[in-house]
Each structure stands twice: as structure tokens, then as C-alpha cells.
Structure 1
């Protein structure tokens, strides 16, 4: 599957999800010889032998970056196997941040150095290993370093089916516990929306550590959450299990954006704590949210509209890059196709991934780590 777009841009999808298909994909999008780098979006179910893949990545003369996700999107279809390749001919700078969980990692120094070389760059992409504990700190430092003028989108790589496995593509091979920041000379517009609405709150986060909320208003966080969700849904955690009840009841953190920043609970602790995908700092206020499928689909369309309105480049030469949460896929089921169609504007080339967490922000909005959210980028086709 190929879409050449303008002459200087090449997009290819390999449906096989095999190492030979990966090599052919790289060859296809770099055939003209003017490609500066290749964005790779791949599925966790692909058959990639680790050592052989590392040899491929380390011996290519062009920059390679991207990640492995639960599923990917090409056109208006979602795939659980396969790889998308995008050849980019514009200037780019890639910063690999290794050992993200290490206490010695000085994010301010690393990102500050990247910012010094960012003149002329208009867009950032960020791919980060979902298992790294410092995702929140990294995203916060991005905003502190680059401000709100630089557009950014990306996602958390990896899959629940492949915990702790290398899930980032780089010229150093497959990486884990790392992040890849890419600065691009491309115009873009970013739209972020989720469609979840508050049913109870706000509650003050009185005790938390990283992504673990210990108390809300000094009461065990899970007890507060369970009582509200069971009353609203008429369902019981003891009967259906944690995921069976919680998938339609995320938390919303009050920040400066119009919509709350969503946090997806995934476990409860014996001490009554509540673990979420994404950090929840002490002192913030959270609501318990709920949503209907129609509202989520409408919100995804809104994210696409916002991205198109924010895009300042040529209307004739655009493409859509989306990061739409895998938990939205699980919640919407067969209706996720409607969400993709709501995002697809003007028959533009569209591709993306369904990560566990999304990164998005730009214009007047700070860069945030999101969950259960649609992040849509409209990018210039170079």
C-alpha cells in the first residue's frame, strides 16, 4: 500500500509485519535518495526478531525514528499487524533520551541542548516507552523548555502484551526505557479532545506519588472512586473485575485547558490507592468522568477540526497524523471506525497509531500527556 503524495514525500504500508517487509518498506520510501529521515509506526503483533532488527536499524544511512504500538491506522482502517513508513525530506533533528528512569538523567540539560538547535523547527514529535516512570516529568520539562509556541504530538510506545520489551525505533536499534524527541521543519496544527464529561467532583488529591493516587479529600482514593462508579453504573467491582467497570469511568485532572486532562485508572492497591496511566500530582483537583460513544466520536471530529483550523501551511498539501488512545478502541468496539471517519477531513492522506497514552499540545495550549483522548495533527506534506 503506497501513497506518494507530493513528489518529496513517500508513505508506504507493509501489511505482513515481517522483517523482510520492514526492509522493503525502508527501501521504498527512501528510493529517491533525498530523504532525511523515516518515521516508523509499527504493531506489537509483528514478527520482528530482535537481533536481526537491530542490524537493520544500525546499518541504514538515514535517520529512523518511531515506535511499536497496540495498533496503527492507515487511511480509514485500523490494523493490528503491519508497519507504516513515512519518508521525510525536510530538515530534522533527533534526540534520543536513554535510561529515562535513571535518577541521574538531567532532562533540563538534555532538552535545553535540543532547544539551542531548534531554530527554524516548527513541530516536535515525542515517542516514549510507556513503562518509563518519568513520562510526566519529561512532558512538563518539554513545556518549560520550549514554551507553548512549538506544536507537539506523539505517543507512549509499547503494549500491555509486551511489557518491558524494547519498543522504540532508532539508529541505535530497538530501545526501551527511553524517549525519542524529533524536531521537524514542518508546519502543523494540533487538536486535542476526548468527550468525557464529569459526573462527580472535584476532589482534591491529598496524597499521591507519581501515578498512584493514595487519598482524595483524605479518604482512600479507590473507596471514593468505587462508591461513585458503582452508584452511577449499577455494576459491582467484585462481580465484574476492575477493568470491566472502569473502562468508561476515567478521571479528569483540572488544568488550564478547556477540557480536563484524562487519567485512566488501571489498578487498585490493598491500601485503597488508585493507579493511573499518567502522573497525578498532589494538590490538583480531579473529577470522575463518564462518556457515551456518540460524545467520544464527536470529540474526535472536534480534535480534527481544531487541528485544521490551527494549521498555517498550504491547504493543498496536508496530511493527518493521529494518536488515538487504544482504550478508546476498546470502549468503542466496532464504532471506532466511526471515530476514524470523523477525524478524516477532506480526503487527506491519514495515518497514525493507537497508543496507550498520547502527547499533544501547541499554540496556546501546553504540551500534555493524555490518556483516553484523541490527539490529531495536521502536518505539511514536505
Structure 2
């Protein structure tokens, strides 16, 4: 990534002027476009423009954009690659598409002397991102560095949200090879409760039973004991985003935000929960007590990010729901603390990175993703 520009879409001439200027400077350029959901109707003419002008296009639709020190629901981010990167736009991930993803990844990584960063943008309607990434990782001889997010509608309404110059699809993944120099860090910095639970029955992203009892019953009990909250089916949506589960792993606790309550008292979360996963209840912090920005800055420094370089940043929609109006302040704090010359990106519906030193992929909620390239 060498340049980025925010443009309004009510005037196609502005889009064309930016892309033509980049094309004159970098004739082999590739173009990555991020659109907010409110602007999704512009995908066809963007595709047509790129086809007519021979521009290699990759793009995705997100709930909103990270721009202007906060979030916007209009316009688009245009991101220029000096050389068109290898990319894959793949559907049918529950069938033959998973094999196509594996083959493309093998081919893309072949001959690499250093770890490559692969940036995955999944449609948020894909229910098993963790499983797909885990299966891909196990099938590879050498691991890439994983980075990525989920795109689509914040209401989780199915819609085409991934595109290139020819196709506009949903229920799939767009993968972009970012090369050897890209560095990715992901943090959520959510405090962990004392109570340890076990998902004794779970399927996909649904927790059916905790400690051999209905999941919601245990959730009510623990949230009352730990935080004094009287949780009911009626106020579930008011509290769930502020009190997510933490899936305990060997190296970390991964946030899983409950987003739906089943008639059987099961809990549907964003992200998979394997049977017998150990769980803790998390309490999303107040912004004044959050260490997330400081942790991101420290991790970027440790990863060798050049001081002041631009950051492609993705901010979880669930995190924005928790912080409300203060979420824009957290974005501003991130830019000020990292001294980024530009902060550009989108609101995400799930976040992906690698376990440090192991390059094992993992799927987050409630996190911020920063990519320096």
C-alpha cells in the first residue's frame, strides 16, 4: 500500500481523478476500495470504471468507514498498491471453495523466503471462519501471517459485500497477499472475571449449555454475582455487548459477543465456540480505564513499524456499540498515540490475526486491528 484517499461518491469525477493520477504514477497498480453499507449501490459503476480503464480492483462493503477522526457512513476509501497484489475472491467455502482457497494459498506462498501476510476479508455471514482458517493452517506446509476482518451489514442481513472488477458476491472471502513487510496487531484489552465456566454443549457459534445447564441461565447467574446486573430476556440486548464471553485459549482470551437468545436458552455469539471450551465473563472497560491504544502502539513498535507511517485500521462494530460516542475518541487517541500520518479503514464484524511466534490464526470480537505496510 503506497497511497490512500477518501473520496465522495456523489461525484464520479473525483474517483476518476484520483485513480487516473495513481495509474499514471504506478501503471501496474492495484486498487482496494472500502465502501460503507449506505453506499453499496455504487459498486456496479466502480466495477465498470475499473474494467473500462484496465484497473485491477478488489473491494468490500462494511457497516461504516473509519475516517475523519471517527466513523462515517458516506464516501469510500481508495487504497493504492504500486503493484497489483495476488488476490482471491472465493465463494462456496462449505464445499469446493475451501479446497480452492487452500490451493491458491499454496501457490501464493510458494518460493517465499520470509513469511507473507495474507489479509482475509470474510463475509460476516460465513458461520465458521475459525474452522476454515484452522483447516487451512493445518493443510499448509509453511504458515503465512494471518490478518483480516469480517465485512457486511451490521444487522447481519445477507448481502453481496465482496467484489472485484467482474464479480460482486456474498458468503465468501476476499484474500489479498500483502507481502513480507506488512505488520498486523490486534488488541481488545477487556478485563477478565474470576468465574471459570465450561461450554459443555456448543455447536458452531451457539452455546447451548454451560456447566451442564442452559447457557442463558448460567449467564444470568454469573453476571449477577460478578457485576450485580439483573439480566432478563427483555434487557438481554442492552447488556450483552457490555458483558461478552471470553473463550480461554493457551495464549489469550478471545472475545465472543452474544448477539441472540434462543428459545431453548442457548446463546448465539459472533464467532465459533468449540464444545468444552473454557469460558470467562468479560466486562468491557470504560474508555478512561482501557489500555487498548497503548497496547496497540507498543505492539506496533515491537513489530518494527516505521514511526509515523499510515495505519489501515479496523474497529469492531460491537466495540463501537459498547463505547458509543466515545468510540470516535478512541480512534482519535489511536492516531495521536501512534503519530500515524493517516488512519484509514472500516468498522468490522470480526477480526483475525496470528498467535505471535506461532502464526496460528485466531478470530476475535470487540478488537481493533492495525496494519502497517
Q: TM-score range by the shorter chain?
A: 0.7 to 0.9
Equivalent positions of 1:268-347 (< 5 A) are 268-294=261-287, 297-311=290-304, 315=306, 318-344=309-335, 345-347=338-340
Aligned counterparts of 1:216 and 1:295: Cα–Cα separation in 2: 32
**Conserved in 2, the CA contact under 8 Å of 1:10 and 1:88?**
yes
Deviations 1:227-248 (A, max 9, x none): 22244243432442x2112110
Deviation of the 1:251 alpha carbon: 0.8
When residues 144 and 115 of structure 1 are mapped into structure 2, their CA distance, relative to the original with a 3 A threshold, is farther
When residues 176 and 369 of structure 1 are mapped into structure 2, their CA distance, relative to the original with a 3 A threshold, is same
Deviation of the 1:40 alpha carbon: 1.4
Larger displacement relative to structure 2 (131-140 or 146-155): 146-155
Which residue of the partner structure matches residue 166 of structure 2? 172
Aligned counterparts of 2:102 and 2:81: Cα–Cα separation in 1: 28
When residues 23 and 361 of structure 1 are mapped into structure 2, their CA distance, relative to the original with a 3 A threshold, is farther
When residues 349 and 162 of structure 1 are mapped into structure 2, their CA distance, relative to the original with a 3 A threshold, is same
Deviation of the 1:12 alpha carbon: 1.1
So what's the TM-score if we normalise by structure 1? 0.86
Which residue of the partner structure matches residue 214 of structure 2? 220
Equivalent positions of 1:13-162 (< 5 A) are 13-16=6-9, 22-46=15-39, 48-49=41-42, 51-74=44-67, 76-90=69-83, 92-102=85-95, 105-106=98-99, 107-116=101-110, 122-144=116-138, 150-161=144-155
Superposed CA RMSD: 2.8
Deviations 1:32-79 (A, max 9, x none): 243431121211111525654543454452322231111111353321
* Equivalent residue for 2:223, pick from 226, 229, 239: 229
Deviation of the 1:109 alpha carbon: 3.9
Which residue of the partner structure matches residue 182 of structure 2? 188
Which residue of the partner structure matches residue 348 of structure 2? 355
Structure 1: gaps of 5 or more residues = 1-7
Deviation of the 1:121 alpha carbon: 6.4
Deviations 1:307-352 (A, max 9, x none): 23212x6x26732111210111121122112311332212432211
Aligned counterparts of 2:247 and 2:322: Cα–Cα separation in 1: 20
Residue aligned with 2:39, SS: coil
Aligned counterparts of 1:287 and 1:18: Cα–Cα separation in 2: 49
Aligned counterparts of 1:22 and 1:148: Cα–Cα separation in 2: 39
Aligned counterparts of 2:257 and 2:143: Cα–Cα separation in 1: 28
**Conserved in 1, the CA contact under 8 Å of 2:256 and 2:271?**
yes
Aligned counterparts of 1:219 and 1:17: Cα–Cα separation in 2: 54
Deviation of the 1:162 alpha carbon: 6.6
Aligned counterparts of 1:48 and 1:118: Cα–Cα separation in 2: 39
Residue aligned with 1:195, SS: coil
Deviations 1:222-267 (A, max 9, x none): 2111222244243432442x2112110111111133x311111101
Aligned counterparts of 1:21 and 1:347: Cα–Cα separation in 2: 25
Q: How many residues are treated as equivalent by the alignment?
A: 368
When residues 20 and 193 of structure 1 are mapped into structure 2, their CA distance, relative to the original with a 3 A threshold, is same
Confirm whether residue 9 of structure 1 aligns to residue 13 of structure 2. no
When residues 203 and 309 of structure 1 are mapped into structure 2, their CA distance, relative to the original with a 3 A threshold, is same
Deviations 1:157-177 (A, max 9, x none): 101347211111213332211
Residue aligned with 1:30, SS: helix
**Conserved in 1, the CA contact under 8 Å of 2:191 and 2:285?**
no
* Equivalent residue for 2:249, pick from 255, 270, 276: 255
